[in-house]
Amino acid sequence: MSFAIISLFAQLVAPPQLRADAPPVILHSERCSISVSPSTLRITLTPRDTGAPFVLSAAQPKPSPIANLLASENSLSWELPAKKIALTLKLEDDTLIVNVKAKSAGEFTFPTLPPQSTTKAYILPIGEGVYAPAQEPIWREYLVKQGGISTTEGLYLPLWGVDTGRYTLTYLATNPFNNEINFQSAVGGLGLTFTHQFTQHWKIKEYGFRISLGSPSPIEPAKRYREWLKRTGQFVSMQEKILRTPNAGKLLGAAHIYLWGDGISTEMMETLHAEGFGRLWLGADGWNRLRDKPSVIEKAKKFGYLIAPYDSYHSIHSPDAKPDDTWETAQFDKSLYKTGAITRWDGTKRAGFQKKGYLLSPLLAQPYVEKRVSRLMKALPCNSWFIDCDAFGEVFEDYSPKHPANQKEDMAARLKRMAWIRDTYGLVIGSEGGSAYSAATIHFAHGMMTGAFGFGDSDLTNPASPYFLGRYAPDKAPAIFFKQVPLKPYYFPFHIDPRYRLPLFQTVFHDSVATTHHWSAPTLKFKDQLSNRALLEMLYSVPPLYHLNQKAFAEHKAWMRAQYATFSPLHKQTSLLPLSDFAWLTDDHRVQRTQFGDKATLIANFRTEPFLYKTRSVPGMSLLWENRATGESGVYTP
């Protein structure tokens, strides 16, 4: 008789007793076995085919007395009375389903991944996705330095993966809220702890994981998440979105452009059209620039472009603030300013962006959203709308007695207002970031391919530095957007180096959300990285993003036309297809392949020397594309 059966029998015939010396319980499936120590929470997985074990979670510092232990061949449940925690584990084929439930508010750290030789690299959805080798000092230092990483804001997908060389492990957090990940560097490698906060706002206090054993593909964790979203009915394709909002079809093949100064003009619209830019998303940095030029909106729509104002309900400022100390999107009324701030548990109000005013509760903002958008649509009848921050992943527990909310309710209110704008006016809706929770609602996101970075780095803000990004001036062409600068070398591996990039978000949502760069890191910003970034855009089939006025367009027209000539038709072909495969074709990760559905294959060669792919030579710093459905192919060299 196995221990599991004996344990189950004992529970049926005897009252539960506290014990801290229970031996490990073994769960079995055809794919693997799982060893669980209930009192220490040490969990080890051993695959059937490789035999190389992996510690899914290390032992807690001190064993805990357990109660109500119930076990079967593939499931286990028990309680930790001293911690007021109950755990349930179930092994289904290659996936261990974990549920942790608490009886009261507090926090709980589990799982804890120890540094171990079997951890080759972490697969992390930071931005679009990164591959972080566990033994490389730069990545160990960088990840430890990040501190607490949220699974809505810090990770744009609520998961992480581990590459062991022989297989991958995917940790999918089924509750993405109130979680924090911290990395620890040690002699043996890089470890990780996961902490969940059980707050008073949640009636049912629980979180959990789906820990899956998978193929050695570096995008396997993203594939697992996509499968789970589709199985649970949470995935909405771009094709479905176009049926609901037909203008969203204009995103297919569209480059994204922010317009500034004499660039917001009918002349610019005619120039772009005449130069062959058939599909574009056009944005402004507010609404006044467009409100004053309705003819620009009409001309843009005539040429089939999407055009949008910038809008935001993130911060609220005092109506009495000086003009130079506020901005149009943060102005509401005195009543909302007094009562609408998101509040911490200690009663203090959360400061707004740049420490001005407060963060505005999305639960109270909805009437103001409807009033503002309805008023603006009469003056500037755009066909798209950009809402800053709502998809960024920054969601809050609000302890205000007037509008209490947990993170899920905060998120739901943000999605509600974007959906209202989208559906009331048939607008193509987009936001900053693109955290997974927003994907079913939005059509496009700015910030996934390259996010904002370098906050607090004086080299980026000091005019004497070669890496100075520029000021928010002049008004018609802010240098921070238009000035080209070299990338500070420190940021290269973490944000651009193709060897460490992974198309994780594209693997999940390529055929659902059109994503590009944050507006602070446009395609042409870093003059020493133009080729790397253009090839990554092509390889992942994501739009470029530019800042333009007429002068800047004249300067960059040749580059833009060459990129658009290859990008736009490819993007039209792939936008409604999933990113179905990704592979490194060389050991140094400098030659990479993506596949979209069963139709398009793209090979990016980030080396300076040519690479032979089957019978085709891919020149250095170039991309080969093949459409197997039509037999067409070509080479793009930035």
**Of residues 310, 407, 438, 313, the one with CA closest to residue 368:** 313
Tens digit of pLDDT for each residue in 259-271? 999 899 999 999 9
Predicted confidence at residue 324, as pLDDT, reads 87
Mean pLDDT of the 6-34 span: 67
Neighbouring residues of 214: CB distance < 8 A, sequence distance ≥ 6: 94, 167, 168, 169, 170, 220, 221, 223, 224
Edge-first strand order for the sheet with 95-102 is 67-71, 75-80, 85-92, 95-102, 205-214, 168-173, 159-163, 121-124, 130-133
Residue 20 has pLDDT above 50, yes or no: yes
Predicted confidence at residue 19, as pLDDT, reads 63
Cα 476 to its chain centre, rounded Å, is 31
Separation CA 585–CA 605 (nearest Å): 9
Predicted confidence at residue 17, as pLDDT, reads 53
The overall average pLDDT reported for the chain is: 95
Separation CA 557–CA 555 (nearest Å): 6
Query: Is residue 87 very low, low, confident or very high in pLDDT (cuts 50, 70, 90)?
Result: very high
Predicted confidence at residue 52, as pLDDT, reads 84
Predicted confidence at residue 7, as pLDDT, reads 41
**Of residues 603, 179, 222, 92, the one with CA closest to residue 408:** 179
Write down all domains in the chain, each with its CATH number in brackets: 3-231 (2.70.98.10), 238-314+360-582 (3.20.20.70), 315-359 (no CATH)
Tens digit of pLDDT for each residue in 588-634? 999 999 999 999 999 999 999 999 999 999 999 999 999 988 889 99
Predicted confidence at residue 149, as pLDDT, reads 97
Structure tokens at 540: 């992942």
Question: Which regions of 331-466 does DSSP assign to beta strands (E)?
Answer: 358-359, 384-387, 428-432, 444-446
Predicted confidence at residue 21, as pLDDT, reads 65
Mean pLDDT of the 104-114 span: 97
**Of residues 557, 608, 615, 636, the one with CA closest to residue 276:** 557
- The full DSSP string for 159-201 is EEEEE-SS-EEEEEESS-SSEEEEEEEETTEEEEEEEEEE-TT
Amino acid at 213: L
Amino acid at 449: M
Structure tokens at 198: 């059980």
